Structure 1
Amino acid sequence: MVKHHLTRSNLVLACLTIVGVALTIDFLCASSSMVSTQKHHLLVPIQENYTIKVEKAYETNSGVPERELSATFADLPAPELEWEQMPSAPVPRLDGSAIHIKDLLYVFAGFGTLDYVHSHVDVYNFTDNTWGERLDMPKEMANSHLGMASDGRFIYIVSGQHGPQCRTPPIPVTFVLDTETRKWGNLPPLPAPRYAPATQIWRGRLHVMGGSKENRHTPGTDHWSIAIKNGKALEKEWLTEVPIPRGGPHRACVADSDRLFVIGGQEGDFMPKPGSPIYKCSRRNEVVYADVYMLDAKMKWKKLSPMPKPNSHIESSWVIINNSIIIVGGTTEKHPVNKRMVLVGEVFRFRLDALEWSVIGKLPYRVKTTLVSFWEGRLYFTSGQRDRGPDNPQPKKVLGEMWRAKLNL
């Protein structure tokens, strides 16, 4: 009886061994097939809903495999626009800000170089296509990474970086420019300073949210507002509002009726090198994203369809035309191989009725921190930092150039 039991156990063990060997052989064959396939087609994830497709992988004479990258890091297919160059701004500027009121474009501050920042406002007149008036800014006002919004007469300037390089901390003070009297005023300072916060006037209140915190790198999700009228604050303190779902600087912020949109942006930014007396910029990891959030009248955030590609440095790079938000240029995710910044060369459209994105044009070159406006059927942009050429999307020269193109939507 015992002898029979052992024999049957051995038989079961032998069967299990045979099955195991068969599964192992099948797995090894499948793995070999997968490796062979990956030599010709590979998906490298970079962010949710975005991939880089490697179209080719082959051996060079040196035996090192090469890859051709496309998708997120390539220019998107877009119609050609006929661009006309207009008079350049009096100075080149990077990370400046701009507001369009009537037939005038007010262009604020910005870097001339990393070691030099502007402390004035240049004014462009669309009627005669000339740069003329220059306004000096208050000495205490930030020179870059500003939050800015306007009600059609008064321009509200919030927080930002004071000084060159990567100076910390940001300043919490706020200013108001009356564009009719050319006089400056103040609002109560922010509860905490921020770099490049999303800023907009919505439902009678000045809203400030996100941006980078005091170390210039950590994203903030705080959201504050204050009631304003005729260039004055109607309250003594900022009200704490519902936080934005994702923090960070360099985003477009647009009001449309009972909706407030916050578009694109990034998490992280350059920081000052430890111990540097001039706050020399030191590179840090940044994550650029395509997220779009909408705040409704019930003060609830909703995530909408993302931009066609991740995009940042677009605070003043937008304009509303015929029920659409138009966004010009920017920066996308860093190149996955050389880790260098990649500039954006497309014009994007976001339809406010359908809440859908499209790509409607190409720029004369890739460029970030453009200052954008629209006048008599033409889309204008000026300033920013352009690419190194058609085949190199890395940033190089800081510009003061102005361009325009007809745009029919």
Structure 2
Amino acid sequence: MGRAAVAKHKSTKLVFACVGLLGAVLIADLLWASSSSYTSSYLLLSKNLQKSGDITVPHFRNSTQTKDKKGVLTERVLSATFADLPGPKLKWEKMPTAPVPRLDGAAIQIKNLLFVFAGYGTIDYVHSHVDVYNFSDNTWGGRFDMPKEMAHSHLGMVTDGRYIYVVTGQYGPQCRGPTSRTFVLDIETKQWRDMPPLPVPRYAPATQLWKGRLHVMGGSKENRHTPGLDHWSIAVKDGKVLEKEWRSEIPIPQGGPHRACIVVDDRLYLIGGQEGDFMAKPGSPIFKCSRRNEVVYDDVYMLDDEMKWKVLPPMPKPDSHIEFAWVIVNNSIVIVGGTTEKHPVTKKMTLVGEVFQFNLDTLVEYDCPGILPNWSVVGKLPYRVKTTLVGLWDGWLYFTSGQRDKGPDDPAPRKVIGEMWRTKLHL
């Protein structure tokens, strides 16, 4: 793996160049004022493409007309955040469908096997078992049960290549509460063991193994909406916990669930995610989900030996529900689908149909983080979809499960799926 680090400024001339470029971006941002939330500098470049017709805006135009109190039509320009970004078409091949559809499930790849856990079948029904996909012969099989006390969605999960560590998550359907229970699975024996519970329950925390410790960060707090900034770790080895208690670590810069958490070249990355989520309706006996405001991130942070969070170039658009939607390819992080900000006019969730690449090699070349395109769109999915479960085998990029869009012209979520797709990835 190549080393990933943001290079320091090397000359006064380069400093002025960066400042000038930043100034140009700020001016462009003012000229392209949007009623939506912030956009990254990458999106400013995308807006120019949008004006030239190179970005497809699904179901709605990139502007909308409304009448004021006097009946006069006014036009409102929308951000490129809500548009499909341009990217090459990929040739997708449909593979055997998973035994059950899943939303907000989890997945871990170990060699040629993809272990797919839990998730919603419907809003009123959750799975409590594991399905296994074999990339070598492209078949599903080997189903086995999860512990009865284990969460059913919004799990934190990571592997060391044999043992799978499972942390906290939501217990039950609709918008029920989280559990602090944690487990470890030995995939060779299919045996589960308890681990020390997390200090407090969390929904969808960022979870990784780093420097001999199991790290758990952020997620949503017990009400399912308030973002947590907490960061804990505990020493583990070969499926065994070496300490009795979790240790507090440096808090993450922004809390919240549904972000990708990845370790490459001994550096820990946090990508995307959101603040806020659906909450249980007050007084509902079934904890019926009730919509709340959400803010989706395009932010990227890195933690290295200095144990200080560093800001890296943002994603092409804000992206959430991507905790198991990534793979590492040739020192790049590839992220598949997700969900971005709600559309300001329709108020509907907007799903993501792009495949993004974050090239870690290029981080050492650029001195203006956030300006130059470390990120790129390397392909388009067969449809927009969130909470994909992703694997990579023999050059093939696979994804399964999640919630897909209503169609090519409507990016709002429709049905939960179990379909499996693959494409040959060339990076």
Q: TM-score interval w.r.t. the shorter chain? A: 0.7 to 0.9
Q: Secondary structure at the match of 2:81?
A: helix
Mapping of 1:1-400 within 5 angstroms?
A: 43-49=34-40, 64-65=73-74, 69=78, 71-168=80-177, 170-355=178-363, 356-400=374-418
Equivalent-residue separation in structure 2 for 1:405 and 1:293 (angstroms): 29
Deviation string 1:115-142 (CA, Å, 9 cap, x unpaired) is 0000000000111110011010000000
- Tell me by how many angstroms 1:43 deviates: 3.4
Deviation string 1:331-380 (CA, Å, 9 cap, x unpaired) is 00110112110000000001122231111000000000000000001100
Equivalent-residue separation in structure 1 for 2:75 and 2:306 (angstroms): 52
- Which residue type is aligned with residue 294 of structure 2? E
- Which residue type is aligned with residue 228 of structure 1? V
- Tell me by how many angstroms 1:72 deviates: 1.0
Deviation string 1:60-104 (CA, Å, 9 cap, x unpaired) is 9x8644657461101000000000000000000000000000111
Q: Which aligned runs of 4 or more in structure 1 are off by greater than 3 angstroms?
A: 40-43, 48-60, 62-70
Equivalent-residue separation in structure 2 for 1:57 and 1:136 (angstroms): 50
Equivalent-residue separation in structure 1 for 2:96 and 2:380 (angstroms): 21
Identity %: 72
Residues 56 and 241 (structure 1 numbering): CA distance in 2 closer, same or farther, change over 3 Å? closer
Equivalent-residue separation in structure 2 for 1:197 and 1:142 (angstroms): 13
Aligned alpha-carbon RMSD (Å): 1.9
- Tell me by how many angstroms 1:219 deviates: 0.1
Residues 262 and 57 (structure 1 numbering): CA distance in 2 closer, same or farther, change over 3 Å? closer
Contact 1:41 1:56 in 2 (8 A): no
Deviation string 1:253-297 (CA, Å, 9 cap, x unpaired) is 000122100000000000000000000000000000101010011
Equivalent-residue separation in structure 1 for 2:271 and 2:100 (angstroms): 28
Residues 184 and 69 (structure 1 numbering): CA distance in 2 closer, same or farther, change over 3 Å? same
- Tell me by how many angstroms 1:178 deviates: 0.3
Structure with the greater alpha carbon radius of gyration: 1
Contact 1:41 1:57 in 2 (8 A): no
Q: Secondary structure at the match of 1:90?
A: coil
Contact 1:41 1:55 in 2 (8 A): no
Equivalent-residue separation in structure 1 for 2:219 and 2:377 (angstroms): 26
Contact 1:372 1:381 in 2 (8 A): yes
Residues 224 and 389 (structure 1 numbering): CA distance in 2 closer, same or farther, change over 3 Å? same
The runs of 5 or more residues in structure 1 that have no matched partner are: 1-39
Equivalent-residue separation in structure 2 for 1:328 and 1:316 (angstroms): 9
Q: Secondary structure at the match of 1:354?
A: helix
The runs of 5 or more residues in structure 2 that have no matched partner are: 1-30, 52-60, 364-373
Equivalent-residue separation in structure 1 for 2:224 and 2:300 (angstroms): 22
Residues 213 and 55 (structure 1 numbering): CA distance in 2 closer, same or farther, change over 3 Å? closer
Moved more, 383-392 or 333-342: 333-342
TM-score scaled by structure 1?
0.87
Equivalent-residue separation in structure 2 for 1:283 and 1:235 (angstroms): 39
Equivalent-residue separation in structure 1 for 2:63 and 2:110 (angstroms): 50
Q: Which residue is 1:12 aligned to?
A: none
- Which residue type is aligned with residue 43 of structure 1? S
- Which residue type is aligned with residue 226 of structure 2? T
Equivalent-residue separation in structure 2 for 1:306 and 1:55 (angstroms): 22
- Which residue type is aligned with residue 398 of structure 1? V
Q: Which residue is 1:35 aligned to?
A: none
Equivalent-residue separation in structure 1 for 2:409 and 2:94 (angstroms): 22
- Tell me by how many angstroms 1:199 deviates: 0.2
- Tell me by how many angstroms 1:56 deviates: 5.5
Residues 147 and 66 (structure 1 numbering): CA distance in 2 closer, same or farther, change over 3 Å? same
- Which residue type is aligned with residue 102 of structure 2? R
Residues 257 and 274 (structure 1 numbering): CA distance in 2 closer, same or farther, change over 3 Å? same
Equivalent-residue separation in structure 1 for 2:362 and 2:153 (angstroms): 34
Q: Which residue is 1:5 aligned to?
A: none
Q: Which residue is 1:404 aligned to?
A: 422
Residues 58 and 261 (structure 1 numbering): CA distance in 2 closer, same or farther, change over 3 Å? closer
Equivalent-residue separation in structure 2 for 1:59 and 1:275 (angstroms): 38
TM-score scaled by structure 2?
0.83
Equivalent-residue separation in structure 2 for 1:111 and 1:58 (angstroms): 38
Per chain length, whose mean CA-contact separation is higher, i.e. which structure has more relative contact order (CA < 8 Å, sep 6+)? 2
Residues 87 and 335 (structure 1 numbering): CA distance in 2 closer, same or farther, change over 3 Å? same
- Tell me by how many angstroms 1:307 deviates: 0.4
Q: Which residue is 1:8 aligned to?
A: none
Equivalent-residue separation in structure 1 for 2:78 and 2:313 (angstroms): 25
Residues 391 and 182 (structure 1 numbering): CA distance in 2 closer, same or farther, change over 3 Å? same
Residues 56 and 86 (structure 1 numbering): CA distance in 2 closer, same or farther, change over 3 Å? closer
Residues 58 and 112 (structure 1 numbering): CA distance in 2 closer, same or farther, change over 3 Å? closer
